[in-house]
Amino acid sequence: MYANIEKIKNVINEKGLTGQAVISIDGPCGGGKTTLANEIEKNFAYNILHMDDFYLPFQKRDKNWMNIIAGHMDFDRLVETVLIPYKNKQKTNYISYDCHSDKYLQEIPIDLDKILVIEGSYTSHPRLDEFVNLKIFVDIDEGKQKERLTKRNPNVVDKFLSMWVPFENNYFNTLNIKGNSDLVLMV
């Protein structure tokens, strides 16, 4: 992981990112996005925002959401409650959402003096382009991904492999997410 932190540090320096900037960490489930974000937080003391906190509640999803790229994500709430205020240097908090309980949970503050890292699948969606200064894509081969997903939660691995992995792959391929990234890291 240290080598990846050094690569990120170099790109941050090359781009001159200081103060208010937004970094996205995207990639397949099981690829290590959250682990990388936690390492970044330890090494740089940045804000870390988890895209999982911005799932759309079930009652707000379009009935055909599975046919819409990222149809389960609440980009509007992310943009309106976090990214616009952050860009305008206005104090902001957001409320995390838990899709398992279908409930909003706790209020989380954003420190305006720190770079904001948004980690999770769909963080490099074009809807967020005007706010993101650096796009990182964390990639993983299929075998390793299956191994990690099985270890993480063996009871739902088949659902992830048959539903979520193809759903994410459609997003990555249709929108050329990896190709449009500033930095690609292989796990």
Tokens of 33: 């996005």
Return d(Cα 129, Cα 60) in angstroms, integer: 24
Tokens for 39? 């390492």
Cα three-residue angle 27-71-117, rounded to 5 degrees: 40
Query: Is the pLDDT score of 2 beyond 70?
Result: no
pLDDT tens-digit map of 6-40: 899 999 999 988 778 999 999 999 999 999 999 99
Q: What is the mean pLDDT of residues 132-161?
A: 93
Q: Does residue 137 register a pLDDT over 80?
A: yes
**Distance, CA of 43 to chain centre:** 19
C-alpha to C-alpha distance for 58 and 75, rounded to whole angstroms: 15
Least confident of 21-30, 119-128, 154-163, 164-173: 154-163
Best CA proximity match to 177, nearest among 132, 127, 135: 135
Give the pLDDT of residue 1.
59
Give the pLDDT confidence of 54-110 residue by residue, as tens digits: 999 999 999 999 999 999 999 999 999 999 999 999 999 999 999 989 999 999 999
Pairing assessment for the beta strands 92-98 and 116-119 based on DSSP bridges: unpaired
